[in-house]
Amino acid sequence: MLAETLVLALAGLLVGAAAVAALPEYFPSPRPLTVLTGAVSALVAGLVTRAALGSEHPALSTGVGVVTAGLLVSVLARPDRVRRGRGGPQGHRPA
């Protein structure tokens, strides 16, 4: 169980860090908040899945944790605050 907990926490940290590294302009909130959201959500979802299904399915618990981390980290993304190109939203240029 300790190994599974560590794997879940690391996977969540990687999900959060990857989101911030890939799309930094989408995450105006503090970077540690995004990374820790990934870690905590993966950990909680994985452990809840483990409690529901039992310890016979560690890969499934880890997978559910990683998917949940990705979903909850995406809630923090703010694409509406991203500056578009010079032409305004969606490349529209005034006539």
Radius of gyration of the chain (CA): 17
Tally of residues, the chain: 95
Instruction: Write out pLDDT tens, residues 39-63.
Output: 999 999 999 999 999 889 999 999 9
End-to-end alpha-carbon separation of the chain, Å?
A: 63
pLDDT at 82: 79
Global pTM exceeds 0.85: no
